[in-house]
């Protein structure tokens, strides 16, 4: 039997390969103990059983001992035969054991969306799959499912994943969306219908922002997430820049509305005349200015390769967003809408850089480019930006 391990800041994974039978138990137990000592301090422990062929009762006792020592201990990727042993002996009732996931291939599949956390593929007319970027943990995938389910119950029109799968070494979420197209694809196919799609886009935002999130659920505070993102990217920016970003966040009013926080046209799919949301990893609650600011940062003021990231010509993307905001504030004066758009743009300029918190592996040239853009768009306009932040308090919620 072979045992190896990885250690990610105390989050340890043990990889077990071969037969965990009676003869192997004593040696395996010593090897596990030694590897855990090397990884100390261990904050969490996962055993990857994807290559475990067999487990005996003595092997089960080793798992039981580990479960008693480490809180939230989990066994993952257990084959059907191995999982059946855990289940028949009652171990699935006393520890978290996860059966191996179905394997999926996206070779030759159409890419319908690409973002910071993964890529969305069309598998067939009825099915899409979101493949998360390398390094995403199963806990992060489960969090997205939890957010989708809670948001759906509250009234957010979202597709619910019915399966977590493996795509190579990455995780994927499979969704059933019958003959649905992204709003991006609809716009590219029918640019002459931009006004009609802008109305739908605005209606989706308004619908979300009418939903109040009750206290005590799993949906997190978007302001707290923004603050955490600024703290993470402070390693890329000097203290005055970080302080300026934090001042923008802290000027945002509190709120209890349901927010998607990444509502680009590629994250909304049109099915039977209704827009459905498919990317729920950043769902939160707070003030609508956060949601609209995040959308502005993608559709209008994006930092990066526009057509590759958004999938639309920049002029068309700008057009639908500006039409959308007119419909979102329909009935208000032109001066009112101009004022709100200025406020949204300031929050958008923050999001243009906090997305760097999504990964630890961006190339140096990407970081330098963001630093240069920050100096041009934010530092040079500091007085204006802070003056707009002072007006955030006039955006009250009923």
Q: Which of 243, 232, 226 is nearest to 374 (CA)?
A: 243
Which residues lie below 8 Å from residue 67, measured CB to CB, with a gap of 6+? 73, 94, 95
CATH class for the region spanning 181-394:
alpha beta
Position of tokens 């965990």? 20
Rounded to whole angstroms, the Cα distance separating 233 from 374 reads: 12
98 backbone dihedrals φ, ψ, rounded to 5°: -110, 130
Prediction pTM value? 0.78
Q: Is residue 12 within 8 Å of residue 6, measured between CB atoms?
A: yes
Fold match between domain 110-176 and domain 181-394: no
Which alpha helices (DSSP H) does 96-193 contain, by range? 138-154, 183-189
Which residues lie below 8 Å from residue 160, measured CB to CB, with a gap of 6+? 145, 148, 149, 152, 175
Beta bridge partners of 361: none
State the CATH architecture for 110-176: 2-Layer Sandwich (3.30)
Q: What share of the chain is helix, strand, coil (3-state, %, to 5)?
A: 50, 20, 30
The CATH H-level (homologous superfamily) assignment of domain 2-100 is STAS domain (3.30.750.24)
Rounded to whole angstroms, the Cα distance separating 68 from 157 reads: 42
Which alpha helices (DSSP H) does 70-137 contain, by range? 80-88
Domain ranges across the chain: 2-100, 110-176, 181-394
Burial class (CB in 10 A: 0-12, 13-18, 19+), 214: exposed
Burial class (CB in 10 A: 0-12, 13-18, 19+), 121: buried
* Per-residue confidence in pLDDT tens, the chain, 398 aa: 899 999 988 899 999 999 999 889 999 999 999 999 988 899 999 999 999 999 999 999 999 999 999 988 999 989 889 999 999 999 999 999 988 888 889 999 988 877 777 888 988 888 889 999 888 887 788 888 888 899 999 999 988 887 888 899 899 999 887 678 899 999 999 999 999 999 999 999 999 999 999 988 889 999 999 999 999 999 999 999 999 999 999 999 999 999 999 999 999 999 888 999 988 889 999 999 999 999 999 999 988 777 878 889 999 999 999 999 999 999 999 999 999 999 999 999 999 999 899 877 788 999 999 999 999 999 999 999 999 999 999 999 97
């Amino acid at each position: 039997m072979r045992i190896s391990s990885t250690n990610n800041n105390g989050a340890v994974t043990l990889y077990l390969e071969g037969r965990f039978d009676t003869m192997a138990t004593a040696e395996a137990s010593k090897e596990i103990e030694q590897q855990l000592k090397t990884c100390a301090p261990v904050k969490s422990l996962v055993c990857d059983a994807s290559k475990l062929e067999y487990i005996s009762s003595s092997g089960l006792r080793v798992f039981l001992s580990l479960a008693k020592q480490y809180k939230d201990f989990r066994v993952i990727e257990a084959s059907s035969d191995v999982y059946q042993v855990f289940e028949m002996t009652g171990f699935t009732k006393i520890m978290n054991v996860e059966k191996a996931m179905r394997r999926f291939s996206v070779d030759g599949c159409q890419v319908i969306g690409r973002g910071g956390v993964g890529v969305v593929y069309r598998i067939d007319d009825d099915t899409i799959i979101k493949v998360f970027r390398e390094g995403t943990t199963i806990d992060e995938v489960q969090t997205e499912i939890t957010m989708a389910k809670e948001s759906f119950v509250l009234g957010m029109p979202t597709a619910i994943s019915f399966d977590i799968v493996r795509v190579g070494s990455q995780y994927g979420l499979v969704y059933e969306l019958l003959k649905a197209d992204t709003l991006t694809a609809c716009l590219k196919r029918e640019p002459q219908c931009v006004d009609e799609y802008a109305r739908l886009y605005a209606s989706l935002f308004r619908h979300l922002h009418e939903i109040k999130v009750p206290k005590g659920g799993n949906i997190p505070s978007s302001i707290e997430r923004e603050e955490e993102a600024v703290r993470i990217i402070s390693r890329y920016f000097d203290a005055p820049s970080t302080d300026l970003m934090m001042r923008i966040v802290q000027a945002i009013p509190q709120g209890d509305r349901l927010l998607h926080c990444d509502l680009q046209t590629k994250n909304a799919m049109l099915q039977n005349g209704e827009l459905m949301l498919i990317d729920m990893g950043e769902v939160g609650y707070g003030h609508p200015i956060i949601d609209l600011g995040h959308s502005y940062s993608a559709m209008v003021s994006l930092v990066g390769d526009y057509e590759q990231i958004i999938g639309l010509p920049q002029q068309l993307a700008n057009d639908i967003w500006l039409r959308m905001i007119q419909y979102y504030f329909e009935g208000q004066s032109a001066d009112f809408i101009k004022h709100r758009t200025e406020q949204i743009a300031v929050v958008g300029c923050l999001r243009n850089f906090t997305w760097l918190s999504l990964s630890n592996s961006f190339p140096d040239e990407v970081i330098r480019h963001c630093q240069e853009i920050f100096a041009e768009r934010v530092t040079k306009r500091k007085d204006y930006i802070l003056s707009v932040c002072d007006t955030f308090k006039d955006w009250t919620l009923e």
